[in-house]
Structure 1
């Protein structure tokens, strides 16, 4: 997408989801540097399944409920309860909030915006997590004023993370766009035969059909549109065209083709992205449903 100064400045302001609320001063005390903020974010969350059973790391079982914390303000509140030291203080694992890639990114974007740094969440698929697979993932984009472009940054991992596909260090501050595919690129690659939809999954060991292939490519495309409109949703939220179905009908495929083309077009400006989001079922309504893993039983949620 093309970016004007107005488009860029819009991403310096907080959303309902990223605003730190009463913890703004806690965030403001950090250095206003994207690289430093990324490193801070990587130490604030403990992934709810990426390290195995959380109870084996000293967490009480009920802390798994933290994965449904939706707003950065509430996550900062939990972090403050666990350890009120400055946010850039190294935390023990149990002093981190239980969450996933979305939460690392949400906190990074919240911290960046609080410092006036243009930042946004992007949902798509990473090819640097499990060899041979494109895995559901959410990372950040930060505007590079010097190079006049959006840079992909992964807030989840500590510096020195090695790509398991080749053993080489991955540049977490400027990810290649063929290693992280934003959802529109992933959808397009699968539609034109460049990639196999069966390799696009939440996780290879998750057998549920709606968590892989075309249904989940659709899911992430709609989530990424929402994120571009500063609705940084939880990854298991569903609304409008999103559900737990295992097939995507022809009409929806046509609609997703058009959405993918719009988001991939470098001439598309943010006002067009906001217009398509506001039109019809794609917009996030006041009441959504969320299907917390592993049960995945949708329940209604009223958003703030």
Structure 2
């Protein structure tokens, strides 16, 4: 399988001239790139008290920063005290971007692709946040040329956070166990569709009792976003288009489910994902990204229409 498709930037991960020197100064190994990305994002919900960390609440809208260039412009403009901007230092929360797992992953992809490393985002669920639940998450999938295999890398988590997996292992951020530590959208869909996992265990957070943020609607949402990410049209997690805008009321209609079965069939096998097949499937009605998408507000405000032609026409 040709991995070159994922070794070049997308419209979302493309970086500007202002940040190339800082990226090029980083070592080329995956461990160094992952450590760098783990220092760039202050999580908008899980990061803790904004004021205690010196993060002005006026910066909350940064969560909707869509493009890596804009992210890096903000990050590199913070906290370097007039010295040459760098991505290699450990950053205080106030020197980071207010974002989420998607943003840390986008930044990791930007760094890796700049160094011609094949890397792609995977949208799915992690098992290391809440025991008994599969929690909404985005990680990177990177082709390790030395080992001749794809590996899952959590670009967001700090090295100091060392959760235990259910089998007693310490979760390795550089090499998540596929289907165990992290389930892609396709793996989650298959597990629920086959009756192996109760769909209500797939959540954004167990404490969020919002129908669209758990169960079948959310599994379908993440499967569609995973397809978009594999097609290098990496979207913000609360963007919605096509069949995602249907009122499913907790159950995905069989006509939609059959199309999502096709998506899972093409995207479930990491070693056999064909860019041409992804492109063809992502163009189908119900799945294709239109010029304008509906973007919901993670803070509870009204949804807005966002022009994403820059992404789909790249």
The TM-score range, normalised by the shorter chain, is over 0.9
Displacement of 1:164 in angstroms is: 4.9
Q: Give yes or no for the alignment of 1:253 onto 2:253.
A: no
Q: 4+ residue runs of structure 1 moved beyond 4 angstroms?
A: 164-168, 265-268
Is this contact kept in 1: 2:5–2:275, CA < 8 A? Answer: no
Q: Give yes or no for the alignment of 1:30 onto 2:17.
A: no
Displacement of 1:294 in angstroms is: 2.6
- What whole-Å deviation, never above 9, does each CA across 1:246-265 have from its counterpart, x for those lacking one? 33222111111121122225
- Residue equivalent to 1:173: 174
Further displaced range: 275-284 or 163-172: 163-172
- Unmatched 5+ residue regions in structure 1? none
After TM superposition, list the pairs within 5 Å mapping 1:1-304 onto structure 2. 4-5=1-2, 8-22=3-17, 23-84=19-80, 85-164=85-164, 168-177=169-178, 178-243=180-245, 245=247, 246-247=249-250, 248-265=252-269, 267-295=272-300, 297-303=302-308, 304=310
Displacement of 1:180 in angstroms is: 0.1
Displacement of 1:107 in angstroms is: 0.3
Displacement of 1:41 in angstroms is: 0.3
Aligned Cα root-mean-square deviation (Å): 1.6
Displacement of 1:222 in angstroms is: 0.3
SS of 1:87's partner is coil
Taking structure 1 as the reference length, the TM-score comes to: 0.94
SS of 1:18's partner is coil
Instruction: Rate the CA distance shift 1:60–1:26 in 2: closer, same or farther, 3 A.
Output: same
Is this contact kept in 2: 1:125–1:186, CA < 8 A? Answer: yes
Aligned length: 299
Displacement of 1:244 in angstroms is: 7.2
SS of 1:139's partner is strand
Displacement of 1:51 in angstroms is: 2.6
Is this contact kept in 2: 1:129–1:164, CA < 8 A? Answer: no
SS of 2:279's partner is helix
SS of 1:142's partner is strand
Mapped partners of 2:51, 2:164: distance in 1:
26
Instruction: Rate the CA distance shift 1:30–1:61 in 2: closer, same or farther, 3 A.
Output: same
Is this contact kept in 2: 1:134–1:199, CA < 8 A? Answer: yes
Displacement of 1:17 in angstroms is: 0.2
- Unmatched 5+ residue regions in structure 2? none
Is this contact kept in 1: 2:171–2:181, CA < 8 A? Answer: no
Further displaced range: 50-59 or 35-44: 50-59
